Copies of this chain bind each other. A is one copy, B any other.
Amino acid sequence: MAIKRKPPLHYESRAEIAKALAHPTRLLLLDALQKSEMCVCDLTDLVGADQSTVSKHLAILKNVGLIACRKEGPMSFYRVTCRCLDGFFTCIETVLRANLDAQRAAMGI
């Protein structure tokens, strides 16, 4: 049975944000930007990828509203816009730790 249908719209928009979070480089960027506002050049050094690559990752984060941008002369300074990211990271950490514990338990340690 089970008629085929699309998931409700609010799951789509939620998934858009989760997708933006689902890349190691973007997690690194968010981590850095949570500490302080930074320009693309410094972020490029930090990440160690092509400047255009970093610029695109920043655009992805900006498009879902996780970060914002301020221009100063020829430079762009990015910053995190929401104070709720810790809740997200904490949840991830909790799951990772639980996985490690489960792994240890399975090995009988």
Residues of A within 8 A of B (CB): 1-5, 7-8, 11-15, 17-19, 21-28, 31, 44-45, 47-51, 64-66, 81-82, 84-85, 87-96, 98-99, 102
Interface of chain A, helix or strand or loop or mixed? helix
Chain B neighbourhood of A49, CB < 8 A: 2, 4
Residues of B within 8 A of A51 (CB): 2
Find out whether the CB atom of A23 lies under 8 angstroms from the CB atom of B13. no
Sorted nearest first, the 5 A-B pairs with minimum C-beta distance are: A87-B87, A11-B24, A84-B91, A7-B24, A18-B22
Q: Are A1 and B45 in contact (CB under 8 A)?
A: yes
Complex Cα distance, B21 from A89, in Å, reads 13
Whether B95 lies near A47 (C-beta < 8 A) is no
User: Pick the contact of A65 from B23, B31, B93, B99 — CB < 8 Å?
Assistant: B99
Is A2's CB under 8 angstroms from B45's CB?
yes
